[in-house]
């Protein structure tokens, strides 16, 4: 065999040895070799277990899928290239054989609004909005609109209202709709939405799941009745998460329960400190007893291994008397807390919703939703909470 051929083939396609890697390795192959065409045909047809082509499946992705399913308590899992691609796939699957109508929560991540209005609406999907925290009003819209699916967030971005997922599921199913819930802010550590009857659970894997600011990815989890269709759509559309990102997400998830406990504990301390500062007009955090959904969160959210309530790692607050310039001065004065557009990392992050997550909404629309020009969103990290608080307070005094 000539060197050109040796360079192409040497070292590949070795039969499995009698060892098992202690962690799932990165399988970077886009296609897979089998000893006979009959075996490859059986694999491609789903009659024999194994990968055939990366858009159809990848061993590293399979490991991540198994890991997520174990955390969620079941379901079929697909890892996708971003949280938005995961949400798109969930909605396409949910509406495939149902009326092309959605009832969505009135406060959502800004890009989700654009998905509904800029992508799905031109394709004939009609969306109405309602407040999921007002159950009577929400059911009235569902009854009138007769949607194919209901779309909510477990905790709203950025005002941190808690959705009564179990009650929303009852309303949706009573009217023949399925429920898609974005649970990025809670993760399966705090809420296992499948247990509450949610049909499709979506996560931005970029955030708490990977947790280290080095992955862009998304996750969809669904029950058995939707699994075949979701897998078929995924094979056709090809939103797959790459094997390296799957590996990093798996590695991040190994410490997810530990990190979430620290995020929640720190967020509670930080929220209480901000709530006592006269320079802060309002603090939004479900762990505060004066939060509108504190009792609901106490009922729905899980406790830590030490028995402490877990209310999430996100805090938003309004700086008294501040506008855009005042918020910018505050953010620019932070030293430990990182200015960025994301959340859920090990380090604390700050963002300005009017500039970032809800930038594309008209100012009047933002105002109607309660997203004022003085609102700041804080993703509390796992640093020492005293250091986080000290940085926030010094920046408020600048």
Phi, psi of 202 (to 5 degrees): -120, 140
Write out the E strands in the chain. 76-80, 101-105, 126-130, 149-153, 178-182, 200-204, 218-222, 280-284, 314-319, 338-339, 349-351, 375-379
Considering its fold, how many domains does the chain have in total?
Answer: 2
Which parts of the chain have pLDDT scores under 50? none
Collect contacts of 106-109 with beta carbons under 8 A, ≥24 apart. Answer: 106/130, 106/131, 106/132, 106/369, 107/131, 107/153, 107/156, 107/157, 107/159, 107/161, 107/369, 107/370, 107/371, 108/151, 108/153, 108/156, 108/157, 108/182, 109/153, 109/157, 109/182, 109/357
Omega of the bond prior to 262 within 30 degrees of 0, cis? no
pTM as predicted = 0.94
Amino acid 9: pLDDT:
83
Q: Which of 253, 270, 301 is the last residue of a domain?
A: 253
Q: Which of 212, 237, 253 is the last residue of a domain?
A: 253
Q: Which domain holds residue 231?
A: 37-253
- CATH number, domain with residue 326: 3.90.1150.10
Name the nearest CA neighbour of 182 among 241, 112, 134, 81.
112
Query: From its phi and psi, is residue 124 left (phi > 0), alpha (psi between -120 and 50) or beta?
Result: left
Give the model confidence (pLDDT) of 180-239 as tens digits: 999 999 999 999 999 999 999 999 999 999 999 999 999 999 999 999 999 999 999 999
Give the model confidence (pLDDT) of 337-373 as tens digits: 999 989 999 999 999 987 766 666 767 777 777 788 8
Phi, psi of 167 (to 5 degrees): -75, -35
Contacts of residue 163, defined as CB under 8 A and 6 or more positions apart, other chains included, come to 105, 132, 133, 152, 153, 154, 155, 156, 181
Amino acid 357: pLDDT:
64
In a domain, 32, yes or no: no
In a domain, 27, yes or no: no
Amino acid 358: pLDDT:
67
In a domain, 3, yes or no: no
Name the nearest CA neighbour of 184 among 86, 101, 53, 91.
86
User: CA distances (Å), 396 to each of 177, 224, 326, 354, 390, in order?
Assistant: 46, 50, 9, 19, 10
Residues 102 and 198 in one domain: yes
- The answer to whether 282 touches 318, Cβ cutoff 8 Å, is yes
């Amino acid at each position: 065999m000539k060197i050109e051929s040796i360079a192409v083939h040497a070292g590949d396609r070795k039969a499995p040895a009698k060892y098992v890697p202690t962690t799932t390795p990165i399988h970077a192959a886009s296609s897979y070799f089998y000893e006979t065409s009959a075996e490859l045909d059986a694999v491609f047809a789903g009659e024999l277990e194994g990968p055939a082509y990366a858009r159809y499946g990848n061993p590293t992705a399979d490991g991540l899928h198994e890991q997520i399913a174990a955390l969620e308590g079941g379901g079929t899992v697909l890892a996708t290239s971003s949280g938005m691609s995961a949400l798109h796939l969930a909605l396409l699957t949910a509406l495939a054989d149902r009326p092309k109508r959605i009832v969505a929560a009135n406060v959502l991540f800004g890009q989700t609004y654009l998905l509904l209005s800029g992508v799905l609406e031109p394709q004939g999907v009609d969306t109405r909005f309602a407040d999921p925290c007002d159950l009577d009003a929400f059911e009235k819209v569902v009854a009138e609109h007769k949607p194919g699916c209901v779309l909510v967030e477990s905790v709203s971005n950025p005002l941190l209202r808690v959705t009564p997922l179990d009650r929303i599921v009852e309303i949706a199913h009573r009217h023949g709709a399925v429920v898609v819930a974005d649970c990025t802010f809670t993760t399966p550590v705090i809420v296992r939405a499948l247990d509450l009857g949610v049909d499709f659970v979506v996560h931005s894997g970029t955030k708490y799941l990977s947790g280290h600011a080095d992955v862009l990815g998304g996750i969809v989890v669904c029950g058995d009745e939707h699994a075949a269709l979701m897998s078929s759509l995924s094979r056709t559309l090809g939103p797959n998460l790459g094997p390296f990102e799957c590996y990093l997400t798996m590695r991040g998830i190994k410490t997810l329960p530990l990190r979430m406990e620290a995020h929640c504990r720190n967020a509670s301390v930080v929220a209480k400190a901000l709530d006592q500062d006269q320079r802060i007009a309002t603090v939004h955090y479900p762990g505060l007893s004066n939060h509108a959904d504190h009792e609901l969160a106490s009922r729905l959210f899980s406790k830590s291994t030490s028995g402490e309530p877990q209310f999430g790692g996100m805090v938003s607050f309004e700086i008294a008397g501040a506008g855009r310039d005042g918020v910018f001065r505050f953010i620019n004065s932070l030293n430990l807390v990182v200015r960025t557009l994301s959340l859920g990392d090990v380090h604390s992050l700050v963002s300005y919703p009017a500039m970032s997550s809800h930038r594309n909404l008209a100012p009047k629309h933002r105002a109607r939703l309660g997203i004022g020009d003085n609102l700041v969103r804080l993703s509390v990290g796992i640093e020492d909470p005293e250091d986080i608080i000290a940085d926030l307070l010094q920046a408020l005094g600048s």
